[in-house]
A and B are shown apart, each in its own frame.
Chain A
Amino acid sequence: MSDAQSVEADGSASEEVPLSGADIEPDEEKPLVVENLRKTFGGIVAVDDVSFDVEAGTITGLIGPNGAGKSTTFNCITGALKPDSGTVRFQGEDITGLRPDVVANRGLVRTFQIARALDEMTVLENLMLSPKAQLGEKMWRSVFPVARGEVIAQEKELREQVWETLEFFEIDHLAEEYAGNLSGGQQKLLEMSRAMMTEPDMLLLDEPMAGVNPTLEEKLLERIHDLREQGYTFLLVEHDMDVIMENCERVIVMHQGTVLADGTPAEIRADEQVIEAYLGENI
């Protein structure tokens, strides 16, 4: 957990990188900028001209009813889907349509709506997977005698980090358990700790509270706030209005593939369009 300052460091580093066709100055305050994003499936427009940005060091919420296009937007940002048009900029660089692994390596890491723990791997193995550019990811290094010594040394170092992360998320008692045996809530924690192990600059959490019991939910939110204070940026997709309103500095409301409103929780609460869209729901 040593890279609290990494957002700023990376932000300034990215200024040296020439922007591809973009005439907007890289904004250190806004690591993620989405502009005019559009994605269709067959004839159905899932995401239609969506633009928003996320400020550094904040927890931003993305809400909307089912089918509003939240998850599709998420998938377009992280490279799981290629948008039809529009741009996604991360730390000033155009990352539109890049492969998921490239996006992740730039420091933008996601979790999934339905927890995708690697069931047949232990919690420890799950977390050991995350660190970037491990020596032993080269096959020859893992095989040949002398090089393998270095690999083992690095594994031991990473092992310490893994245990620390597990302790931070208070799931160290599950370390040797297979991920498939964890409860839904525990898997969400596992996913988040696994994402943290990549040392990201920004985390995109897709419904992190879905299926999580209130005690665990409390714990998860606490962790998110802790990390935010360390300087991490969060974009949270959530279903649960209360969670978003209570925990986010800023809220983006999506509806039928478009951005309906964008502002502080108080502003959103007062927005007539939002009230209309959520008629009957107590915002």
Chain B
Amino acid sequence: MSDDRSGGLKGQLWETIEKSDLRIVVFTLGFVYILFAVLIVLEQGASLDTVNPIVGAWRQITFLAAAYGILALALNLQWGYAGMFNIGIAGFMAVGVYTMALLSTSPDAVSGMGLGLPLWVGIPAGMLAAALVGLLAAIPALRLRADYLAIVTLGLSEIIRLTAGSRDISQWTEEHLNFATGGGSGISLPDRPTDPIFETATGEALIDLFVIEVAGEEFELVSSSIVQRFTWVVVMLIVMLGVYWLLLRIGYSPFGRVLQAIREDELVAQSLGKDTRWFKIKIFMVGCALMGLGGILWQGSQGFTSPNDFEPVLTFYVFIALIIGGSGSNTGSVVGAILFVGLLFEAPRRVGSVIDARVGLDGAPGTFRGAVEGLTSLEIMPLLAYTLDNLAPLQFVLLGVVLVVLVQRRPQGVLGHRTETAAAADLTKRSPRGENNE
């Protein structure tokens, strides 16, 4: 992002980009793609062999960005549109994934046990279940202060995770109901619906697209497993687009107008005759259903899931993504998701491996103490080496600091304050007849 501030030609470029939401998203994703291509080339050098890891990294980023994008959009619907502060996202995702799994996993799976129903039953049922649990939380939430709702949803999300991890419940349902969560050891999941494509000629043709001939020999530019998994990412992107469209429709409508009024001042909305309770319940349910869907597309597509996939910290990541982009803005949700995944989540590790490959720091001390003891003899290398070895915790320090700084200094997110007009028609236009009426 460093080159957008310097005015002149670059300033013009930024202006052009800023005019269209699609362009903002594409530019951000492109920027992150280039960044990672550069990082990987720096790490592994430029050759045909680097194409595969680059595409692999792109796939990973796009996958997570789409997942966080869907979740941030769902959160935006609840928090950005209606001001409902839900920090139980991980729990609603778990409800979606586990319901889908219990219905659609094969009865003789390695771990856990499902009814073996098709996915077109499992996925909608997962969303419905998440929406119903959302209803359960929303009805009392109407009476609660925003911070109490936060604690209730966090508590609920932990109850869901603990229930999914309970071995006793799993054993009981296995005996009596023919399905089981597998408790703490998790549950196997059905295959991605896109996988069978690759057993057909179309799929093989798709893989062959990335096989080129180098010096008379066939060379696999991008491995077939990455192509296969990228196909699933495309599905997720399409779903994200669908969610985006749904939110736009909801936002640009009388319904969205009432939601916005509720967020700003609920008593005003009520005093104008709006029964705000129903608006809040509906939006909370839809948001939770979308969180369930996000979970299904993300953790639900990995062949296996366990309660560990739904720790509360996941919820906070979604919040960071949304806050980066700017709560209230749909485009901001997507851009925030890309920036979060690209810059905060994946990049530090990449940068670490670049430094590792370039500088080659061996013999890192096993403890921070060892690193600091090096400092006393004016050696900085042990500290650097230790830091590179322990980037994961530092990365979370960075996440925390970014969150604090954003809330303190830029609560409206990087895209600034973007208010999308809450109406289904252009309000500024007047039909000629209307003017004649005067």
Q: Which residues in A have some Cβ–Cβ distance to B below 8 Å?
A: 78-80, 99-102, 104-105, 109-110, 112, 116, 118-122, 124-125, 128-130, 132, 134-139, 142-143, 148, 151-152, 155-156, 159-160, 162-164, 167, 175-176, 178, 194-195, 198
Contacts and interface: CB of A to CB of B under 8 A. Distances in A.
Interface stretch (B228-236, B256-264, B399-407): B256-264
A129 B430 contact: no
Given A101-B273, A138-B255, A143 B250 contact: yes
B74 to A, nearest CB: 15
B272 interface: yes
Given A118-B261, A119-B264, 14 more contacts: A100-B267, A100-B271, A104-B273, A112-B271, A121-B257, A121-B419, A121-B422, A124-B423, A128-B422, A129-B274, A130-B273, A139-B255, A160-B437, A164-B437
Contacts of A109: 271-273
Given A137-B258, A143-B246, A143-B249, A121 B264 contact: yes
A168 B282 CA distance: 36
Given A110-B271, A155-B254, A163 B264 contact: no
A112 B267 CA distance: 10
A128 B255 contact: no
B428 A139 contact: no
B408 interface: no
B276 interface: yes
24 contacts: A80-B267, A99-B270, A101-B272, A101-B276, A102-B275, A104-B272, A105-B273, A109-B272, A112-B268, A116-B265, A120-B264, A125-B423, A128-B257, A128-B422, A129-B258, A139-B255, A142-B424, A156-B425, A159-B427, A159-B430, A160-B434, A164-B434, A194-B272, A195-B272
Nearest to B429: A159
B431 interface: yes
B421 A120 contact: no
B54 to A, nearest CB: 39
B421 to A, nearest CB: 7
B274 A101 contact: yes
A78 B255 contact: no
B83 to A, nearest CB: 11
Contacts of B434: 159-160, 163-164
B208 to A, nearest CB: 39
Contact of B270 (A104, A119, A194): A104
Contact of B260 (A78, A102, A121, A134): A121
A103 B298 CA distance: 46
A118 B265 contact: yes
Contacts of B269: 101, 129
A99 B275 contact: yes
- By secondary structure, the B interface counts as helix
Interface string B319-352: 0000000000000000000000000000000000
B115 to A, nearest CB: 30
B254 A176 contact: no
A155 B423 CA distance: 8
B253 interface: yes
Contact of A155 (B264, B274, B282, B425): B425
The 5 closest A-B pairs by CB, nearest first: A136-B254, A142-B253, A104-B273, A100-B270, A160-B434
Interface residues of B, number: 41
A101 B423 contact: no
Contacts of A132: 273
Contacts of A112: 268, 271
A130 B279 CA distance: 15
A135 B430 contact: no
Given A118-B265, A160-B437, A101 B254 contact: no
Given A101-B275, A155-B254, A116 B267 contact: yes
A227 B255 CA distance: 30
Contacts of B286: 139
Contact of B271 (A104, A122, A137): A104
A129 B437 CA distance: 23
Given A121-B260, A138-B255, A163-B430, A152 B273 contact: no
A125 B275 CA distance: 18
A128 B421 CA distance: 11
B438 interface: yes
A139 B272 contact: no
Nearest to B419: A120
A164 B437 CA distance: 9
A159 B269 CA distance: 19
Nearest to B262: A118
A198 B421 CA distance: 21
A112 B419 CA distance: 25
A276 to B, nearest CB: 36
Nearest to A151: B424
B349 to A, nearest CB: 38
Given A101-B273, A143-B249, A148-B249, A128 B254 contact: yes
B257 A125 contact: yes
B254 A137 contact: yes
Contacts of B257: 121, 125, 128-129
Nearest to A75: B267
Contacts of A102: 275
A262 B428 CA distance: 46
A22 to B, nearest CB: 24
Contact of A198 (B264, B272, B424, B437): B272
A196 to B, nearest CB: 11
B437 A152 contact: no
Contacts of B274: 101, 129, 137
Contacts of B261: 118, 121, 129
Nearest to B282: A139
A189 to B, nearest CB: 15
A142 B250 contact: yes
Interface in B165-215: none
Interface centre among B270, B279, B419, B421 (most CB of A within 10 A): B270
B250 A139 contact: yes
Contacts of B423: 124-125, 128, 155
A271 to B, nearest CB: 33
Interface string B276-288: 1001001100100
